[in-house]
Amino acid sequence: MGKLLISYTPFEIRVGLIEDQSLVEYYVERPSEKGLVGNIYKGKIVRVVPGINSAFVDLGLERTAFLFGDDLIPPEDIEWDREVTPISPQEILKEGKEILVQVIKEPLGHKGARISTNLTLPGHYLVYLPYFHHIGISRKIKEEVLRRNLREMVERLRPPHTGWIIRTAAVEADENSLKREIEFLLCLWEDIKERAMKVKAPALLYEELNIAFRSIRDLFTKEISTILVDDLEFYQKLRDFLERYFPDFLSRLELFEGNEDLFYTYGFQTDVKKLLARKVWLKSGGFIVIEPCEAFTAIDVNTGRFVGESELEETILKTNLEAAQEIASQLRLRNIGGLIVIDFIDMDNPDHQELVLETLKNALKKDKAKHSFLPISDFGLLQMTRERRRDSLYEVFYETCPLCAGEGRIKSRRTIYYDLLRRILKMGIHLKNKTLVIEVHPNLTEIIGEEIFHLEELEKRFNFKSIIKSNRDLWPWEYKFNIQGS
């Protein structure tokens, strides 16, 4: 059975999904960097690009959001119970018009967020589509009898002229659970509409749940036996959330009361350097190298120390098969999205190429992100895409190095600051009535100043004083503690 580990601090929430004693998904969310995906806004169209049926929309954010013509039609991975008529771009795209939109992709670099007019309100079992009147069902539900039964159940429960997508998790639901979720999502939509009537564009109408609540909603299945939370106050919030929306899950929520790091206690390494290591060794002695680039992620497969006991062709196949399994795990764990180019060791046998591709596809079946693949080329290159909705762990934890003019990447200042805060949390009561002198590189002082309230909160909680000292002799990622007082 699996576990969902949730480690909470006021400055960072970490969530880990455990399957077969392995950490398979790991998410980090910081209130200061909370994503926009899922948020619903009342926006104003400021510019139309008629040639591609697209528009730029003011949401009140730093950059205007981009509405593409393709985002005016239903998603492809849903099978509808009848044909759905696409929305005509000409009906919507008019400068100055106020529209309700939802963020479907985070801003990236100089690009604004990507948005859609196809609003969706996800629950655990169902997704409500306010602008559709049909029932769709996830293609991941394969059994025809089950598909028919679920459709009939939702048809009985839904109000007339409302649109729903039946999620994969619905296979575990009874009629009461589905009814309760339908009622909740309909009430949520009424609240959003009411707010939209009262405010002028641009305005935020609905903010997506934080990563902990979202993980329970989107990741929880009957295969997960326990939700472990390491903070009492946040545990109570999750308990209230489950009592209201998912009472069937309440018995699986537990409070972790240990003093050590939750992930460390359960044997999972979340140290950034090891978690995002460039080189990942395979059990056979081969290895893969994962290299994030500007436009794509490159992954290289090498035999390394593995020489095999049979012919070279078999050694290459075995290494590539093992690499395919590990690559699938790393894509999911690191949340790597966008274009991915994998350089497998050259295989002359087409059957071997097909076997490696099928192994990769099968290994990704548990991954909720969407994928697409091209065949392996004669040069051993495989091009694939993985749905990118939120930042990868690499983007969360790293930033451009200030010492080498952007040639390298180091831990981001916020990551370093939160490491520092987490160390203070571990010291806890040992700091009572003492002064903690913290030496940091000048590069770090700005972020500490911006988010000094986190440090001040810890000072009140553990009754100590802190002094920040700037030290140019330290590396940008380095800091030192000196405890003063009896």
| pTM score | 0.77
By the 8 A CB rule, do 424 and 436 touch? yes
Say what percent of the chain tops pLDDT 70.
91
* Residue 478: HSE in the Cβ half-sphere, 13 Å Cα cutoff: 7
The predicted structure's pLDDT at residue 306: 58
Q: How far apart are CA 441 and CA 311, in angstroms?
A: 54
The predicted structure's pLDDT at residue 281: 92
CATH topology (fold) of 2-33+224-265: Nucleotidyltransferase; domain 5 (3.30.420)
- Token match 């079946």: residue? 365
The predicted structure's pLDDT at residue 406: 60
**What sign has the CA pseudo-torsion 69, 121, 75, 163?**
negative
Closest Cα partner for 137 from 127, 96, 418, 145?
A: 127
The predicted structure's pLDDT at residue 270: 67
Q: How far is CA 179 from the centre of its chain?
A: 28
Domain ranges of the chain: 2-33+224-265, 40-206, 272-386, 401-484
The CATH architecture that domain 401-484 belongs to is 3-Layer(aba) Sandwich (3.40)
By the 8 A CB rule, do 333 and 24 touch? yes
pLDDT digits (tens, 9 = 90+) for 377-424: 877 899 999 988 778 888 888 887 776 666 567 788 888 999 899 889
The predicted structure's pLDDT at residue 399: 80
The predicted structure's pLDDT at residue 271: 67
Residue ranges of the chain with pLDDT lower than 50? 76, 84
pLDDT digits (tens, 9 = 90+) for 442-471: 888 888 888 888 999 999 989 999 999 988
